[in-house]
Amino acid sequence: MAAEEAGAVGRPPACLCVLCGLPAAGKSTLARQVLSTAAQHGWRASLVPYDDLIPEHAFQTRVVEDAVKLQRMTEWKLHRQAVLQAIERFLEKPQVLAELPSSCQINGAAWERCIQAVLQPEALDCSQADRAPLLFLLDDNFYYPSMRYEVYQLARKYSLGFCQVYLHCDLEFCINRNQCRSEPIPTEVILEMVKRLEAPNPQKNSWETNSISLSTTSNLSKCDIQRVMELISSALSNPLSPVEDNTEQTEADRLKCATSVLHQADQACRRRISEAMKTARENQVRPEHMRSLAAQLNDSKATFLHSLRGQLLQGASFTQEEDIDVERVVERAVDVFDRERKEILWRIMNGNK
């Protein structure tokens, strides 16, 4: 079914609600209360727990070898995409209890439980269920905006409601709660996620406007649940519009992102050139060799930046709404320049002897 057909008049309203925050921040506790309240509202609602749907081995990315790490990170991303693909298949054929393809990378039994909750809601009879609003609560850390943006894209494609609830909890409380679990995750995983987590930021990302933040260091209050239900109700009443062809805007955003990366890469290269010149002076490199060093390093920087710009414009698909880790892109790119910088410095200093 095409996206336009999926959003046809007469289809019950539906919403994708993202629950994000650190492990043990209280997402599952919130989800249970929202599901109970949703049933009282006469909604069909289901929890989509990424931890249950994605195999445990997909999360094991802490390895030394870069190639292996990259491979496992890619596999992990494919598992995440498979969750959204399963939701999409259900949106297209809601009356078919999705039999996941053999190649699907999520837990079939866990997904069946998700679907049963909306196909056969206990609080509704069959005649009511087809017309009842539909709610999917996506329970995951969603620490990068790009992860949440994928959900937004799906909601926009099918004209669904979209909203986000960020659960803010003090790190110490998260660690203590995690340790009380029957199967706690390693504390270092939480500490690493703290460094990476980027909370919803409507000022930076316009698509995150429909978001709220809850403090979960203490127990959730009735007011907190009411705020969440009001947020979801608003999203159900205000579905997103399907994306239109915006090729020109995409290209403009691509150029804007590439320019940002290039600017930061240029600054990083300049710092490394300054470090090389300082090292040369400390080793009493002769003036004529210093001039040659400066010229070679600047030529190398210009060539590197020109090549990087081409790669960014041709090989990347960044948009203004789709967040990327610019700092990481810059760091990896500048490592290439840094190797050549060290080789040039080594040649000059050997020639100075």
* The total number of residues written for the chain in this structure: 353
Look at residue 226 and tell me if it is in a domain. yes
Look at residue 27 and tell me if it is in a domain. yes
Answer yes or no: do 119 and 166 share one domain: yes
Number of structural domains in the chain: 2
Answer yes or no: do 347 and 264 share one domain: yes
Output the pLDDT for position 71: 41
d(CA 25, CA 218): 10
More confident residue, 158 or 123: 158
Look at residue 89 and tell me if it is in a domain. yes
Answer yes or no: do 160 and 300 share one domain: no
Strand order in the sheet with 211-215: 44-49, 134-139, 14-21, 161-168, 211-215
DSSP symbols for 145-170: HHHHHHHHHHHHHTT-EEEEEEEE--
Answer yes or no: do 46 and 183 share one domain: yes
Residue 302 CA to its chain's centroid (Å): 33
Pairing of strands 44-49, 134-139: parallel
Look at residue 123 and tell me if it is in a domain. yes
Q: Which of 203, 237, 271 delimits the end of a domain?
A: 237
User: Tokens representing 187?
Assistant: 């504390």
Q: Could you give the percent of the chain with pLDDT greater than 70?
A: 77
Asked if pLDDT for residue 258 goes beyond 90, the answer is: no
Asked if pLDDT for residue 333 goes beyond 50, the answer is: yes
Going by C-alpha positions, the residue among 135, 124, 235, 218 that lies closest to residue 177 is 218
- The mean pLDDT of the chain is 81
Q: Could you give the percent of the chain with pLDDT greater than 90?
A: 35
Going by C-alpha positions, the residue among 164, 140, 13 that lies closest to residue 84 is 140
d(CA 82, CA 61): 18
User: Tokens representing 197?
Assistant: 């987590």
d(CA 29, CA 137): 12
More confident residue, 312 or 174: 174
Asked if pLDDT for residue 11 goes beyond 90, the answer is: no
Output the pLDDT for position 322: 43
Q: Which amino acid makes up residue 294?
A: A
**Cβ count within 10 A of residue 169:** 20
Output the pLDDT for position 96: 56
What are the CA-CA distances from residue 291 to residues 17, 18, 296, 298, 305 (Å)? 60, 57, 9, 11, 21
Answer yes or no: do 275 and 189 share one domain: no
The position carrying tokens 């703290």 is 194
Q: Which of 174, 207, 237 delimits the end of a domain?
A: 237
Output the pLDDT for position 73: 46
Answer yes or no: do 39 and 179 share one domain: yes
Look at residue 26 and tell me if it is in a domain. yes
d(CA 256, CA 322): 12
Answer yes or no: do 230 and 258 share one domain: no
Look at residue 9 and tell me if it is in a domain. no
**Cβ atoms of residues 299 and 292 within 8 Å:** no
The position carrying tokens 């030529």 is 299
Answer yes or no: do 328 and 285 share one domain: yes
Which tens digit of pLDDT belongs to each residue from 102-112?
556 778 888 88
The H-or-E segment that residue 314 falls in is helix 287-315
d(CA 106, CA 87): 12
Which tens digit of pLDDT belongs to each residue from 110-130?
888 888 888 776 656 555 667
0.95 exceeded by pTM: no
User: What b/e string do you get for 228-254 counting C-beta neighbours within 10 Å, with b at 16 or more?
Assistant: bbebbbebbeebbeeeeeeeeeeeebb
Going by C-alpha positions, the residue among 174, 137, 164 that lies closest to residue 26 is 174
More confident residue, 141 or 259: 141
Look at residue 346 and tell me if it is in a domain. yes
What are the CA-CA distances from residue 242 to residues 94, 152, 239 (Å)? 20, 11, 9
**Cβ atoms of residues 31 and 202 within 8 Å:** no
Answer yes or no: do 221 and 286 share one domain: no
CATH number of the domain where residue 156 is located: 3.40.50.300
Answer yes or no: do 192 and 338 share one domain: no
Answer yes or no: do 185 and 325 share one domain: no
Look at residue 7 and tell me if it is in a domain. no
Q: Which of 237, 261, 286 delimits the end of a domain?
A: 237
Answer yes or no: do 118 and 261 share one domain: no
Which tens digit of pLDDT belongs to each residue from 169-221?
999 999 999 999 888 888 988 898 888 889 999 988 889 999 999 998 888 89
Instruction: Print the domain residue range for 304.
Output: 247-351
Categorize the per-residue pLDDT at 332 as very low, low, confident or very high, splitting at 50, 70 and 90: confident
